[in-house]
Amino acid sequence: MHTRTLGRDLRVSAIGLGAMGMSQSYGPNPGDRKDMIAVLRGAVDRGITFFDTAEVYGPYVNEELVGEALAPLRDQVVIATKFGFHIENGAPAGLNSRPEQIRAVADASLRRLGVDTIDLFYQHRVDPDIPIEDVAGTVGELVREGKVRCFGLSEASAQTIRRAHAVHPVTAVQSEYSLWTRDPEPEVLPTCVALGIGFVPFSPLGKGFLTGKVDASTSFTDGDVRTSIPRFTAENRAANQALVDQVATLAQAKGATPGQVALAWLLAQNPSIVPIPGTRRLSRAEENIGATGLPLSADELADLNELAGRIGVQGDRYNEHHMSLVDK
């Protein structure tokens, strides 16, 4: 597995693993916790060293799962988690990035993960009620205390990133980014490059759509987040199929899978980009790792860019509520 550097010195595998789906969002959760632990440990055996979780996933249980799975491998891995939501009655109930809340979440996450230091501590969503300077300052204090190693932001605007970075160095920005979600390109990615900040795309496979395993006829189970996303209506899936078909054609020509092409495209955008596709299956993790060895020529990259721009994408990437939480 190739490695990449986020920020100044956070060295991680070129492909990470997002653990959220092991505890929520994609229909019924796996019945056997041991199976998920085996996937996480098996991913390390195959070269993945970067794992993403959050207190709100579950809530809480995903951090516990990741902590238990990676405890024997702690010196081999980088674990990222997040703060920023107010959790009430077992569910997120608004944003909360007050300094005292950040500190409380850090202490609780340390216990659940079973670690002495959180490697990368993201603000999960920008809280409009709390100056980002106060957030960055609080995380900076946690860094000096040894509870946190690096500071990150998620779904933050370029302006917010610059303001935070001026107070305490931002190591990584995490946002949705893929062939069919290009929102970070005009402002956020150039800002990260200019400031030496790593970029971590979540949903780099379009929540499964770019793998070619989802089409207009796919039925989602109860509890699957895609049932609430406009982009995943049957009509929009049919309209967006042309992009996946072209990716699949290129993949076939290269002896790869559509998902590998989609990840290879991301890796080629900038050497500080580290996608974190989620999975519940070790075979998918192995497939994702294969993207690091899939070269795309300049012409192939240009063709994919031109195709995505020409075809476009139908439907918003979030529902109205979740779009309201994205920093503008």
Is 26 assigned a catalytic role? no
> 97 with 135: CB under 8 angstroms?
yes
> 72 with 100: CB under 8 angstroms?
no
Measured CA angle at 292 (ends 291, 296), to 5 deg: 75
User: Sign of torsion, CA 182 328 196 168?
Assistant: negative
Strands 91-95 and 85-88: antiparallel
d(CA 301, CA 295): 10
Residue 256, SS3? coil
Residue 246, SS3? helix
> 263 with 291: CB under 8 angstroms?
yes
- What's the first-to-final CA gap in the chain, in angstroms? 35
d(CA 20, CA 287): 19
The two tokens of residue 144 are 């000096």
> Cβ contacts of residue 121 below 8 Å, gap of 6+?
80, 81, 82, 83, 106, 109, 139, 142, 148, 150, 151, 152
d(CA 10, CA 303): 33
E strand or H helix at 11? strand 10-13
The residue with tokens 């990150």 is 152
Active-site hit among 26, 57, 122, 177: 57
Distances from the Cα of 212 to the Cαs of 35, 216, 308, in angstroms?
Answer: 25, 11, 15
d(CA 191, CA 94): 28
Q: Which residues are catalytic?
A: 57
